[in-house]
Structure 1
Amino acid sequence: MNKKLVTTLVMSSLVASAFAIHAGAAPADKQVLKSENGKVHNVVGNLGKVSGSTAEERALNALDRVKADFGFAKAAGSFKAKESHVDELGTAHTKLNNVINGIDVFGQQMIVHEKNGDVAGVTGTYQALVPNAAKASIESIVAIDKALAETGVSETTHTLTGALDAQLTYLPVGDKAVLTYKVSVNALGDTPVRSDVFVNAVDGSIVKTIDKVEHVVGTGIGVKGDIKSINTTLRSGAYYLEDTTKPMTGMIRTRDMKNKTMLIYAMTDADNKWDTTYQRAAVDAHYYAGQVYDWYKNNVNRNSIDDKGMSIESLVHYSKNYNNAFWDGAEMVYGDGDQVNFTYFSGAVDVIGHELTHGVTEKTSNLVYQGQSGALNESWSDAMGAVIEGNNWLMGEDIVLPAYGYSAFRSMQDPTIFGDPDHMSKYVNTTSDNGGVHTNSGIPNKAFYNFATAIGSRAIAGKVWYTADRDYMTSTTNFSGARAATLQAVAALYGSTSSYYSALQTAWSDVGVN
């Protein structure tokens, strides 16, 4: 979450078409929504009734209703169902992946929104692609070795934090679908790694790498010296930072890396008074992880990151003078900061809310960490961090020290004070930072601020953003698609004639996203 200083601002023109999205009660007329580059991202309205004994069957039939709008010939054989979720109002949101030769196409998904056979909309992206091959010429183990070499991960330098798996995936490259093995590499070491590496399944070359580490520049006493009540576990005469009081199948657990990069140690205390200076980072990580869990459970009824009660793991004292905190796909990892620019990264609840929301997003829309979808990934985490903290619109202000030169990482109220754009006319085109994911997050951040302050409720705004992420966004949703997704969410929750709906329209329009 560090400031990415991007030196070149390129003014981009926005060709905007305004559409009113009438969700909830199905609209009378079909509307085709497009982004600023003319690409269809939503078809909404009364799309008719479809048959089928399952949500998946109905979704495939619904896709045939919009095939001309998105540009595919037929749904059967082109899409396969991934999952279906029925929301609190009984609407089924069925996600389907685009496939070629039965193999997933990276980033091309559809979501069908349907209730009792009545189709109210289809969200997604589609591009006709020509595959370079129908089957792999190299073994998956070869692709894994190539991915490890590409990321510099070895047994002597890193500890893997997730299983290595090579999945055949078509990667869009221009108008081609390149058959690749998608290898996810998650590892801790002097340089932490969390990357998706796409290895050409024909010749073994590296086609693309997406770095997903978000590089960010009893009782216990926290980082700021405040006293907190924390839930611990007594075992064999010692207290552990393990909270089993939540209604989850797992637990909230905090452990220690002792300023190393590969080994993990239990964090224990003899009398359950966690009051040493060394323990402060762990106290805050443990307490704030519970606070984030509670917000999601109490406000949107989500049971932990995966909504299935998974454990929330935190590791503190990672490496030496490490100015970073990140979600590595399995757990939270916190550096101590260099104590010049930053103090302990676990000392800010908005940082922890931000990072754990990356985990939630990974389990819902799974926004690809590049370009506009990556900026939305960052922005959604900022928004939920601000909602959970609840008292200002700055990010990371509690851990920033004077030498950093800024009072925080970002501002949602005024992104420009940290050099980030607050309007599409200021959008930054860059190849650095995965296409400016931190910088351009200022635009949707400002839209969230506009909405939350207009309606006077961070909690309601957060619920709308969460619902949009869960039900109406795909992995490659762009800014225009995010506007449509949040409007569909607010309509489903509160109605398309509500004051919330009109406030949200204005919030996005005021940042140039239509």
Structure 2
Amino acid sequence: MNKKLVTTLVMSSLVASAFAINAGAAVTDKTTLKDASGKVHNVMGTLGKVSGATAETRAMAALDLVGKDFGFAKAAGNFKVKATHNDENGLAHTKLDQVINGITVFDHQMIVHENNGDVQGVTGDFAALTPNASKAALTSVSAIDKATAFTGFKGQLERPATAELMYVAQGNKAVLAYKVNIAYNDSATPANWAIFVNAVDGSIVNSINQIDFDNAATASAKGVLGDTKTVNTYYYTSYGSYYLEDHTKTGLTNKGTDIETYDYKNGSSSYYDIGSTTNTWNNPAAIDAHYYAGQVYNYYNGLGRNSYDGNGAQIVSTVHYSTNYNNAYWDGGKMVYGDGDGSTFRSLSGGYDVDAHELTHAVTQTTSNLTYSNQSGALNESWSDAQACVMDSGDWMIGEDVYTPATSGDALRYMDNPAAGGQPANMSGYVNTTSDNGGVHTNSGIPNKAFYNFATAIGSRTIAGKVWYTASRDYMTSSTNFSGARAATLSATAALYGSTSSYYTALKTAWSNVGVN
């Protein structure tokens, strides 16, 4: 790599038990699962036999078996294959996007679960929609300009803005729109926007800031809490200096990538290499960010995942973002950590669970890609909290090491007792709100408590974390809600341990005890 100043770009213009899916047993009765509103999200059982040379071809045929359940006549013309994956038991999970006129419908996806032609279940979300148009009147460049104007941001972009044409459901209508991604850190409120611009008249259909805004959020060197850690560094002869780069992760090295950590130096538009000619370090925030990124990589690698995307993506962390910044977040491409103001937070990279939480957002982004609003957004938050408590397993708190340094024993959130952090622990306390993207940091307490119930009932955070990961990878779509998450985790448990296992029974109870059925 070229060691240099890294600058950013300048801006221009789920009701029943879930799938009993495993390779050795099949469910003999077809069951249709619906959420609280009556919408079908899963059809499970022995659904039929389909043929085809590939999993993708068989998946399209499988959808025709459940069309009446979900509300469509034929798969052809309504879906296109996005990706397929075989799990540890050889079961194929094929994801398909709903399409209209060949164009993807945002947030409407199906997953076919099939083994050599035996269809064992279908998960997903289909809506019968009437399109407002079949062709865009607006160019992608114009859409980017309108989205940019909507943000009001005039500084430097983190990466080039992109625009993808798709349909967006609005009631029973499908609005043709560009999904514009605009990301920037050079602002008091950083953003990773998904802005939907009507492709006919240029109006803003919807906007989602996908940054989670979670206010928790070998050289030997000290971290933020004063503890000594051993970190991997790398020496470049041509520069005569060591850098905070970890080239020891085989999966990353084979792809020419690594784990790297940079320093914003209390700025917000440019970040810099962190080097030392003597391999000695006095940057605690950077040491922790670098070390914990490696620990998170190791955890997911143990689950069979090579980096956050499963394909060996480079993991980049940046520290000392802005001044007194009380946040840490995944910006869609890298980690960003503030130093805190010393009162609400100390340097946020010093919390292992904070780092694990935020990097799990990256994993979610490349598995289920849960939409960051309402119940799917609360699940996005909860899945990060859950995995953070698997990795940082000493307690059931989130952010305790960096939150309010002058007050001991407190935390941002409490998995065992959500109420202590101002969250509901049961659907009876679900908060309907338009703030915080529909209360994603509030209502996440419900699935958090379900995870705690499950992990403690079976006596293993590790097993619970594996179930949660498998559910996100194989059984959840971007629009999965709480009811769907129950089905997804039960499906994952059945696939991993069997539907007659004590784990499966414990999981059903865990969800029922928080009011999710």
Pair in the same fold by TM > 0.5:
yes
Residues 6-47 of structure 1: CA deviation (Å, up to 9, x unaligned): xxxxxxxxxx93335422122000000001111100000000
Instruction: Name the counterpart of 2:370.
Output: 367
Q: Structure 1 length normalisation: TM-score? A: 0.94
CA distance in 2, matches of 1:360, 1:34: 27
Instruction: Name the counterpart of 2:287.
Output: 283
Instruction: Name the counterpart of 1:332.
Output: 335
Instruction: Name the counterpart of 2:221.
Output: 220
Q: Percent identity?
A: 61
SS at match of 1:189: coil
Residues 41-88 of structure 1: CA deviation (Å, up to 9, x unaligned): 000000011011111110010000000000011100000000000111
Instruction: Name the counterpart of 1:344.
Output: 347
- Deviation, structure 1 residue 97: 0.2
Instruction: Name the counterpart of 1:139.
Output: 139
| 1:485 correspondence with 2:488 | yes
| 1:80 correspondence with 2:80 | yes
CA distance in 2, matches of 1:152, 1:215: 19
Q: Does structure 2 retain, via aligned residues, the 8 Å contact 1:162–1:330?
A: no
CA distance in 2, matches of 1:17, 1:234: 57
| Structure 1 counterpart of 2:448, from 441, 445, 448 | 445
CA distance in 1, matches of 2:20, 2:192: 39
CA distance in 2, matches of 1:471, 1:21: 12
CA distance in 1, matches of 2:374, 2:348: 26
CA distance in 1, matches of 2:301, 2:91: 21
Q: Which ranges of structure 1 fall in alignment gaps of 5 or more residues?
A: 1-15
Q: Does structure 1 retain, via aligned residues, the 8 Å contact 2:346–2:405?
A: no
| Structure 2 counterpart of 1:462, from 454, 461, 465 | 465
Residues 462-493 of structure 1: CA deviation (Å, up to 9, x unaligned): 00000000000000000000000000000000
Q: Does structure 1 retain, via aligned residues, the 8 Å contact 2:352–2:392?
A: yes
- Deviation, structure 1 residue 152: 2.3
Letter matched to residue 263 of structure 1: S
SS at match of 2:207: strand
SS at match of 1:272: coil
RMSD between aligned residues: 1.2
Instruction: Name the counterpart of 2:233.
Output: 232
Instruction: Name the counterpart of 1:265.
Output: 272
Instruction: Name the counterpart of 2:3.
Output: none
SS at match of 2:266: coil
Q: Aligned runs of 1:116-155 on 2, under 5 Å?
A: 116-154=116-154
Q: Aligned runs of 1:284-433 on 2, under 5 Å?
A: 284-298=288-302, 300-401=303-404, 407-433=410-436
Q: Does structure 1 retain, via aligned residues, the 8 Å contact 2:86–2:93?
A: yes
Letter matched to residue 266 of structure 2: N
- Deviation, structure 1 residue 403: 6.5
SS at match of 1:369: coil
CA distance in 1, matches of 2:174, 2:328: 35
| 1:507 correspondence with 2:510 | yes
SS at match of 2:443: coil
Q: Does structure 2 retain, via aligned residues, the 8 Å contact 1:479–1:513?
A: yes
| Structure 2 counterpart of 1:170, from 167, 171, 188 | 167
Q: Which ranges of structure 2 fall in alignment gaps of 5 or more residues?
A: 1-13
Residues 316-346 of structure 1: CA deviation (Å, up to 9, x unaligned): 0000000010001110000000011100010
CA distance in 2, matches of 1:265, 1:378: 30
Q: Does structure 1 retain, via aligned residues, the 8 Å contact 2:211–2:332?
A: no
Letter matched to residue 223 of structure 2: G
Letter matched to residue 163 of structure 2: A
Q: Does structure 1 retain, via aligned residues, the 8 Å contact 2:378–2:439?
A: yes
Instruction: Name the counterpart of 2:106.
Output: 106
- Deviation, structure 1 residue 188: 1.6
- The range that moved more, 394-403 or 492-501, is 394-403
Q: Aligned runs of 1:190-201 on 2, under 5 Å?
A: 190=187, 191-201=189-199
SS at match of 1:374: helix
Letter matched to residue 85 of structure 1: H
Instruction: Name the counterpart of 2:6.
Output: none
SS at match of 1:338: coil
Q: Does structure 2 retain, via aligned residues, the 8 Å contact 1:342–1:404?
A: no
Q: Does structure 2 retain, via aligned residues, the 8 Å contact 1:151–1:193?
A: no
| Structure 1 counterpart of 2:205, from 187, 204, 207 | 207
- Deviation, structure 1 residue 404: 7.9
- Deviation, structure 1 residue 151: 1.5
Give the length in aligned residue pairs: 492
Residues 381-405 of structure 1: CA deviation (Å, up to 9, x unaligned): 0001110111111000000125689
- Deviation, structure 1 residue 288: 0.3
Residues 401-420 of structure 1: CA deviation (Å, up to 9, x unaligned): 25689811100000011110
